[in-house]
Amino acid sequence: MTPALVTRFAPSPTGELHLGNVRTALFNWLLARRDGGRFILRIEDTDLERSRAEHLAQLLEDLRWLGLDWDEGPEVGGPAAPYEQSGRGPLYTAALARLEAAGRIYPCYCSPLELELSRKAQAAAGRPPRYAGTCRELDAAQRAAHQAAGRRPTLRFRVPAGRELVFEDLVHGHQLFRSDDIGDFVVRRADGGAAFFFSNALDDSLMGVSVVLRGEDHLSNTPRQLLLLEALELPAPRYGHLALLVDAHGAPLSKREGAVSVRELRAQGYLPAALLNLLFRLGHSSPLQGLLDRPALARGFDTAHLGRAAARLDPVQLAGWQKEAVQALSPQAAADWLAPVLPAGLDPTVRAAFVAAVRANVVLPADAALWSAVVFGEPPPPDAAARAVLQEAGPEFFAAAAAASLQHDRDWSALAAAVKSATGRKGPALFKPLRCALTGLDHGPELAPLLRLMPEGRVHERLSRHAR
Ligand code: GLU
Ligand code: ZN
């Protein structure tokens, strides 16, 4: 029996979940779901200063909204609990004690300033900056002197000399690092907290994680983490480092290009299916076309199709997937989705008819808000294009149209036919001015269903405005 595949997502709750993180979460989730494995959520909150309870709450909420459920993690529990690193201190202490007993770590008393000066000196000499090994061979008396001077040490891992570290990255293929290029690195900070390299690698192993898909920025951390796990005689996962997600200009994701956090996108009305389908195809090539649900995304996910080139997040593609996701909503789900921008207390039948009438023209609820104003309230004043159309048609046209609307209130085809015979206009010369007067815009959804939903007399009132 092959052991179950176990993946994880290990965010730090120091800010809002953005699309880059979500893609990492999604790929790990898809891999686990495809192979009947387990997906773990681990919270890397060792940075107590920057980690916030409200970020954590939002993170869990965002993942649930996206449908990325976890088999082990916060609020769910599991055999490797706790899943917040802030609660795993005793496990870190125990592992550090083992490294200590094996002579693999030592206290470093260098101050941040001393380390900075050393880095600069190495850079000036044209060498890659790494820890110079200052405290590697301190004897007991020297350590005691530092302690007596009130210095609080970090603990560093003693990187063995002359080793070649090789591993197969699931995305980047064969990797070779030389231990001589890696300085002794910190495993416990001066404040006693576990450092990232250490807690991250240890927890992956303790939690039985078998595959780690994570950002490319962690590729060079991997040899350090492999050394640590080797020293602890613990199994290491396989790693795949995902190409970065960049904006349309190739720059790192930022707010400049519009919302990139899940919370903001959700607030604007983007749907989970739109985000998931977009992210599925960013840095992961797939022959599968069209909007896929989560099980289909899982069946179609393949680590062999993960790309090495930076993946561009294109707002146009996002809008395209959103449009598909809107079309795929059930009538009830579409009505619920648009409810916040519709008048309160709207009759459910009217609401359903309205949603059916405008849905094809709606990407975000804000678009439906416009059509809601047109039908149930007051449309915005005509824009420039509409004004030109209104002017060209002229007051006589609208006088005839207003007169016809007294007979044919809310009946678009009868109204259009009557105006046609009264004015002799047809085609766009007939329809466009009517549309502009009724909606303030020269384009939009089919008018017949919209007119049927308008209050009595409203059609006449709008057409009359342009009759003088
Ligand atoms: N907390 C780390 C991060 O958010 C996890 C990195 C990893 O996935 O190993 O970057
Ligand atoms: Zn030192």
pLDDT (average), residues 96-120: 96
Q: How far is the CA of 49 from the centre of ligand 2 (A)?
A: 24
Instruction: Check residues 72 and 51 and name the one with the higher pLDDT.
Output: 72
Question: What pLDDT is stored for residue 2 in this prediction?
Answer: 63
Q: 24 alpha carbon to ligand 1 midpoint, in Å?
A: 10
User: Per-residue pLDDT averaged across 158-165, rounded?
Assistant: 97
pLDDT given for residue 77 in this prediction? 98
**pLDDT number for residue 252:** 81
Q: Is residue 440 part of a domain?
A: yes
pLDDT, tens digit (0-9, with 9 covering 90-100), for 126-157: 988 899 999 999 999 999 999 999 999 999 99
- Alpha carbons 377 and 365: distance in angstroms, whole number: 16
Q: Which atom of ligand 1 is nearest to the CA of 24?
A: 8
Distance 29 CA to ligand 1 centre (A): 15
> Which atom belonging to ligand 1 lies closest to the Cα atom of 217?
10
Q: How many domains does the chain have?
A: 1
The predicted pLDDT at position 220 comes to 95
Which ligand is located closest to the Cα atom of residue 134? 2
Domain of 338, in residue numbers? 333-465
Distance from residue 217's CA to the centre of ligand 1 (Å): 9
Atom of ligand 1 nearest to the CA of 215: 8
What is the tens place of the pLDDT at every residue in 223-261? 999 999 999 999 999 999 999 999 888 888 866 666 689
CATH number for 409: 1.10.10.350
Neighbours of 295 (CB within 10 A): 11
- Residues in a beta bridge with 18: 261
Above 80 in pLDDT, residue 442?
yes
For residue 256, what pLDDT is reported?
65
Question: Which residue CA neighbors atom 10 of ligand 1 most closely?
Answer: 11
Residue 115 lies in a domain: no
Q: How far apart are CA 458 and CA 403, in angstroms?
A: 13
Mean pLDDT over 200-204 rounds to 98
pLDDT of residue 148: 97
Identify the pLDDT of residue 468.
75
Q: Name which residue sits closest to atom 8 of ligand 1, judged by CA.
A: 214
Query: Which residues share a beta bridge with 173?
Result: 169
Q: Going by CA atoms, what residue is nearest to atom 4 of ligand 1?
A: 11
Sign, CA dihedral 126-195-29-325, equals negative
Per-residue pLDDT, 142: 97
- Distance (angstroms) between ligand 1 centre and the Cα of 287 equals 29
Least confident of 51-55, 126-130, 189-193, 453-457: 126-130
Confidence of residue 348 (pLDDT cuts 50, 70, 90): very high
Task: Say if 34 falls within a structural domain.
Answer: no
Residue 193 confidence (pLDDT)? 95
Please tell me the predicted confidence (pLDDT) of residue 372. 96
Which residue would you say has higher pLDDT here, 49 or 90?
90
| CB contact at 8 A, 47 and 175 | no
Measured distance between the N- and C-terminal CA atoms of the chain, rounded to whole angstroms = 84
Domain assignment present for residue 361? The answer is yes
Ligand nearest to the CA of 222: 1
DSSP secondary structure letter of residue 329: S
1 pLDDT higher than 60 = no
Please say whether the dihedral angle defined by the alpha carbons of residues 41, 44, 45 and 51, taken in this order, is positive or negative: negative
Q: Is residue 284 situated within a structural domain?
A: no
Dist CA 201 CA 217 (whole Å): 15
The number of the ligand 1 atom at minimal distance from the alpha carbon of 44 is 1
Q: pLDDT averaged over the chain? A: 95
Task: Please check whether residue 239 lies inside any domain of the structure.
Answer: no
CB 188 within 8 A of CB 104: no
Cα separation, 247 vs 468, in Å, equals 51
Beta strands in 221-293 (DSSP E): 238-242, 245-246
The DSSP secondary structure of 374-436, one letter per residue, reads: HHHS-PPPP-HHHHHHHHHHHHHHHHHHHHHHHHSTT-HHHHHHHHHHHH---THHHHHHHHH
Q: Encoding tokens for residue 318?
A: 């996002």
Q: Which of 44, 213, 229 maximizes ligand 1 atoms within 8 Å of its Cβ, making it the mutation to test the pocket?
A: 44
DSSP H helical ranges for 240-344: 262-268, 272-280, 294-300, 315-328, 331-338
- Mean pLDDT of the region 94-119: 97
Residue 360 counted as domain residue: yes
pLDDT, tens digit, for every residue of 299-339? 999 999 999 999 999 999 999 999 999 999 999 999 999 99
Distance CA(108)–CA(153), nearest Å, equals 5
Q: Report d(CA 304, CA 348) in Å as an integer.
A: 48
pLDDT tens figures, 402-441: 999 999 999 999 999 999 999 999 999 999 999 999 999 9
User: 35 CA distance to ligand 1 centroid (A)?
Assistant: 23
Helix (H, G, I), strand (E, B) or coil at 63: helix
Residue 25's alpha-carbon distances to 107, 338, 421, in angstroms, are 36, 28, 62
In a domain, 186, yes or no: no
